[in-house]
Amino acid sequence: MRITAIREHTIPVSRYADPAIPSGGLTTSLVAVTTDVIRDGKPVTGYGYASIGRFGQGGLIRERFAPRLLAARDGDLADDGGSHLDPLRAWDVMMAGEKPGGHGERCVAVGTLDMAIWDAAAKIAGLPLYRFLADKLGRDVPHAPRVAVYAGGGYQYPHDDLARLSDEMRRCVDLGFTHAKIKIASASLDQDLRRIEAAARPLASVNHLAIDAMNRFDLAAGLTAARALAGYGLLWFEDICDPLDFATQADIAAAYGGAIAAGEALFSQAEARLLVRHGGLSPARDVLVFDPVHCYGVPGYLRIIETMTAAGWARSAFWPHGGHLFSLHLCAALGLGGAEVTPFAFAPFCGLAEGLQVVQGHTGVPQAPGIGFETNPSIWREFQALH
């Protein structure tokens, strides 16, 4: 069992459905991991990408982690039977020699390759990823699971912000979403309150709307915002301040009193422990939005789940960030609360697999072997360009 080739390519992604709107130069890395296993006359290849929000990781992938996978000996990557790719052993190969700490964004490079390896392993087994992962972990899952989802987006528009935001939310509702999340803290607090009211109108109520401050508030601004927002009854208030400033987060959470979402910009089990101890969060109320790709992939994400559940959190509190098909599979396999979907932002990785629909805030999971990127034409075109 060998990995014979790894290809990486970095592409631009936009926060907006209209890519002409300036979006800060965001990029993401795409990878194709080719194995020596032949199916239907061709080597099995797994595909992955670096989620969104942290920029591409091409240098680390090409110079540090891909060479370790390519140099692995026969048997290093295989399961006990020797005939199937074992993503957990592949992860150990990637992390060989890495020192504790220093997470930076190496976790994203590892998570990108990890996604592709899970895709390849599930394809070799002939199973959709959620079924392959559940079997590997000894978990029971329905044959055709349904996953709760919400629509992510709602970035501030440079012109006609309120009208365009309202239109975006109406289109989300038309697609079958019942809950959505928008961004705040890019404008004045008064404008943020107007945005919340405009975005909530197409939804059943304001408690179907979450807000994301993108880690921008300091203590004074965060306390002011928390007091202004406390009466709305929002779904949750996400990423309030610097992700490692747990004292500020705890103070703002106490002043706010409503549901807080945290974890998107934390990447390791050690950081999750710090969040538990010092973040001022409540397992009975709050939400965890760790991104599985950014947390060193599935092995790192499983360790974070272990840490948080041991501290009293239910799996239903996990709503993974990223808006991608990979998270849908993990929610189905691991029994998580639900997942973000980005209907319009971050093309080509927006939307779902072809044929999947959102019905009353829930959607299915691709049934093709692997993750199912091949079932979304826009995504598949980008991955085919790697070859």
Binding residue numbers for Mg(2+): 212, 238, 264
Residue 42 appears among annotated catalytic residues: no
Listed in sequence order, the residues at least 6 apart from 352 whose beta carbon sits closer than 8 Å to its beta carbon are 325, 328, 341, 358, 363, 376
Q: Which of 123, 136, 181, 183 is catalytic?
A: 183
> What is the DSSP secondary structure assignment for residue 289, as one 8-state letter?
-
CA dihedral 283, 284, 287, 290 (to 10 degrees): 20
Please report, in range form, the residues annotated as the binding site: 212, 238, 264
Listed in sequence order, the residues at least 6 apart from 185 whose beta carbon sits closer than 8 Å to its beta carbon are 192, 213, 214, 216, 217, 221, 225
> Rounded distance, CA 122 to CA 350, Å?
23
Listed in sequence order, the residues at least 6 apart from 22 whose beta carbon sits closer than 8 Å to its beta carbon are 158
The string of DSSP codes covering 53-78 is SS---HHHIIIIIHHHHHTPPTTTSB
> Rounded distance, CA 341 to CA 358, Å?
10
**Bridge pairing between strands 362-363 and 27-39:** unpaired
- Cα→Cα distances 71→35, 141, 184, 329, 360, Å: 13, 36, 46, 29, 48
Could you give the strand order of the β-sheet that contains 42-49, starting from the edge strand earlier in sequence?
Answer: 3-12, 27-39, 42-49
Please report which residue ranges of the chain form alpha helices under DSSP H.
58-60, 66-70, 87-94, 106-125, 129-137, 161-174, 189-200, 219-229, 246-256, 269-278, 297-310, 325-334, 377-384
Categorise residue 385: left if φ over 0, alpha if ψ from -120 to 50, beta otherwise. alpha
With beta carbons less than 8 A apart as the criterion, state whether 116 and 305 touch. no
> Any idea how long the chain is?
387
Q: Which of 84, 123, 321, 324 is catalytic?
A: 321
3 state SS of 159: coil
The closest of 20, 40, 140, 104 to 294, measured between CA atoms, is: 104
Residue 183 appears among annotated catalytic residues: yes
Q: What amino acid positions are annotated as catalytic residues?
A: 183, 321
